Amino acid sequence: MKVTILGNNSALPAFGRHPTAQAVTVYGDHLLLDCGEGTQIQMQRYGIKWRSVPHIFISHMHGDHYFGLPGLINSMSLLGRTTPLHVYAPPAMQAIMDIVQGVAESELCFPYYFHPLPEGSAATLVDNESYSVKCFPVEHRIPCHGFVIERKTRGRKLLPEKAREYEIPAAFYDRLKQGEDYTRKDGLLVKNEWVTEDGPSPKKYAYCADTLFTDSFLEHVKGADTIYHECTYLHADVAKADARFHSTARQAAEFAVMANAKQLLLGHYSSKYKDLEPFREEAAEVFANVHATVEGAAYEV
């Protein structure tokens, strides 16, 4: 499970940085979190295939988080997408999509499903055999949600060459992944650990979106392997951060400590800053395992 940063800036492109967007890769699916301007270009640049994006999640209706969505969806249609796409966003996003499609008198060539986020409350949005996605309200100037993605275990990982060596039929492979031993016709008991190894462990990633420094949603992200927390400002501008419902790098680190997280990713920097290293340094004084994210980089959860 990894997070690829497609954009980490809090404004329109400046100093070579793009508005907010990231892709979380879980078992081959790319889950898109926010979709700022230029996201489809960034996806192409950093190897995120639109065919493997089944779900897109928009945290709130500030342009640096959704301006790229209409263009991305229409490009998917022009390029021949046929698989369903699910979009989870504030209700107003659907009205915008209706206008875009209506003025062009066009229809998408793939099944498109819009799911409005529940204003002011948490909810489970996706829950399948591989992962779940939940939303929770954060504290921003307008209604805004964060998201928690949890990768589920798929059981043990099969070693095909070993399985063939012990003459185990392919029809039994699923049972091997569930931890069963196999008894051959000649009576030999093939131990499960001889032909499998530990599979991917459960992982939890919390995307805290745009938010004032607060513990109001702490219960939703506690124990996360990795937390992404905005740090629009350095702490010298904490008054400005409070007034604009944003956070500082130090506050992001303090939140990571409260959440008992294992790793902290910083992002959503104000375009006033050209150098990102001071963000990492400020946060590292409070929380050691911290990264000031850079566009194009992928971080293991």
DSSP per residue over 47-78, as a string? T--GGG--EEE---S-GGGTTTHHHHHHHHHH
Residues 48 and 165 in one domain: no
Mean per-residue pLDDT, 227-245: 98
**What's the pLDDT band for 33 if we cut at 50, 70, 90?**
very high
Mean per-residue pLDDT, 162-167: 95
- DSSP code string of 113-125: EEEE--TTS-EEE
Residues 173 and 131 in one domain: no
Helix (H) or strand (E) run with residue 275 in it: none
Percent of the chain at pLDDT exceeding 70: 99
What are the pLDDT digits (tens) for 126-142? 999 999 999 999 999 99
Residue 130: which of 79, 188, 199 has the closest Cα? 199
Tell me if residue 180 falls in helix, strand or coil: coil
Last residue of a domain, one of 167, 196, 225: 196
- Cα dihedral 149, 92, 229, 221, rounded to 10, equals -40
Q: Which domain range does residue 172 map to?
A: 157-196
Mean pLDDT score of the chain: 95
pLDDT of amino acid 14: 61
Q: Burial-class residue 280 by CB neighbours within 10 Å (0-12, 13-18, 19+).
A: middle
Tell me if residue 233 falls in helix, strand or coil: strand
Other residues' Cβ atoms within 10 Å of the Cβ of residue 63: 12
Is there a catalytic annotation at residue 64?
yes
Residues 34 and 135 in one domain: yes
Of 105 and 79, the structure prediction assigns the larger pLDDT to: 79
| CATH number (domain holding residue 287) | 3.60.15.10
Backbone phi and psi for residue 166, each to the nearest 5 degrees, phi listed first = -95, 10
Residues 28 and 45 in one domain: yes
Highest mean pLDDT among 30-39, 149-158, 192-201: 30-39
Q: Distance (Å, rounded) from C-alpha 274 to C-alpha 17?
A: 10
Mean per-residue pLDDT, 199-224: 96
CB contact at 8 A, 34 and 42: no
Residues 118 and 245 in one domain: yes
**What's the pLDDT band for 15 if we cut at 50, 70, 90?**
low
Contacts of 138 (CB under 8 A, 6+ apart): 59, 144, 145, 146, 208, 209, 210, 211, 212, 214, 216, 217
Residues 187 and 252 in one domain: no
Residues 145 and 183 in one domain: no
Predicted confidence (pLDDT) at residue 164 exceeds the cutoff of 90: yes
**What's the pLDDT band for 17 if we cut at 50, 70, 90?**
confident
Structure tokens at 199: 């599979």
Predicted confidence (pLDDT) at residue 261 exceeds the cutoff of 80: yes
CB contact at 8 A, 41 and 72: no
Domain count, the chain: 2
Mean per-residue pLDDT, 161-189: 94
What are the pLDDT digits (tens) for 55-66? 999 999 999 999
Residues 11 and 116 in one domain: yes
CB contact at 8 A, 72 and 110: no
The alpha-helical segments, DSSP class H, found in 131-286 are: 160-165, 173-177, 192-195, 218-221, 238-243, 249-258, 277-284
Residues 236 and 150 in one domain: yes
Residues 168 and 258 in one domain: no
Last residue of a domain, one of 170, 196, 222: 196
Residues 242 and 282 in one domain: yes
pLDDT of amino acid 156: 87
pLDDT of amino acid 232: 98
**What's the pLDDT band for 84 if we cut at 50, 70, 90?**
very high
> pTM to 2 decimals?
0.90
Q: Find the catalytic residue in 64, 181, 225, 237.
A: 64
CB contact at 8 A, 39 and 13: no
Residues 190 and 94 in one domain: no
pLDDT of amino acid 120: 95
Structure tokens at 63: 């342009």
Last residue of a domain, one of 166, 196, 226: 196
